């Protein structure tokens, strides 16, 4: 009898940061950074075979070291790659209206390309401080259940 692979909650996205990252410190030296990431995909229509571009916007949350990296090196318009997990929740506004939310909780981030209008960071500091996107280091937390 063969054992089936253990399901994991893992997502990898590469996209453009659409607004300035918002930083909030949960503790001294431990930021929570929130940003929106736009991804684009070329899709071929079933009928007619024409190509069109599909856009999607994702809410990304970075805490700790990835958050510090984004706070110091990433700005609106930059292209980044993130790896993490999907989290589902609910938000309630002031009027009491509740709606579901989906966020990517990022554990790894890598700057892919700076926005055209930004000056490039000095090479000596950016290469030594860059957080690599190492997918082999990703492991889901023990209490994580991707089916909930």
Query: In the chain, where are the structural domains located?
Result: 11-130
Residue 48, Cβ density class (10 Å: 0-12 exposed, 13-18 middle, ≥19 buried): exposed
Average pLDDT estimate for 129-138: 51
- What's the confidence (pLDDT) of residue 44? 86
Which residue bears the tokens 């079933």?
Answer: 46
- The pTM of this model reads 0.69
Give the integer Cα–Cα distance in Å for 62 and 148: 22
**Phi and psi at residue 33, to the nearest 5°:** -110, 130
For residue 130, is pLDDT > 70?
A: no
For residue 1, is pLDDT > 70?
A: no
Looking at per-residue pLDDT, the higher value among 137 and 88 belongs to 88
User: DSSP letter at 132?
Assistant: P
- What's the confidence (pLDDT) of residue 139? 53
- What's the confidence (pLDDT) of residue 74? 94
* pLDDT tens figures, 94-112: 999 999 999 999 999 999 9
Residue 54 in contact with residue 43, Cβ under 8 Å?
yes
Looking at per-residue pLDDT, the higher value among 49 and 84 belongs to 84
Write out the two tokens for 105: 């909780």
**What fold is seen in the domain 11-130?**
OB fold (Dihydrolipoamide Acetyltransferase, E2P) (2.40.50)
**Alpha-helical regions (H) of the chain:** 65-73, 123-129
- What's the confidence (pLDDT) of residue 7? 86
Write out the two tokens for 127: 């290469």
Give the integer Cα–Cα distance in Å for 55 and 35: 16
């Amino acid at each position: 009898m063969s054992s089936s692979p253990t399901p994991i909650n893992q997502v990898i996205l590469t996209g453009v940061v659409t607004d300035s990252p918002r930083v909030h410190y949960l503790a001294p030296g431990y930021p929570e950074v929130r940003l929106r990431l736009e991804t684009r995909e070329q899709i071929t229509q079933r009928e007619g075979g024409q190509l069109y571009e599909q856009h999607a916007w994702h809410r990304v949350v970075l805490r700790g070291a990835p958050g510090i990296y984004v706070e110091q090196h990433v700005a609106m318009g930059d292209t980044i790659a993130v790896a993490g997990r999907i989290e589902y929740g609910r938000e309630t506004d002031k009027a009491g209206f509740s709606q579901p939310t989906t966020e990517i909780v990022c554990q790894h981030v890598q700057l892919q390309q700076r926005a055209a209008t930004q000056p490039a960071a000095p090479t000596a500091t950016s290469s030594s401080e860059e957080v690599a996107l190492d997918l082999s280091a990703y492991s889901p937390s023990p209490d994580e259940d991707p089916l909930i």
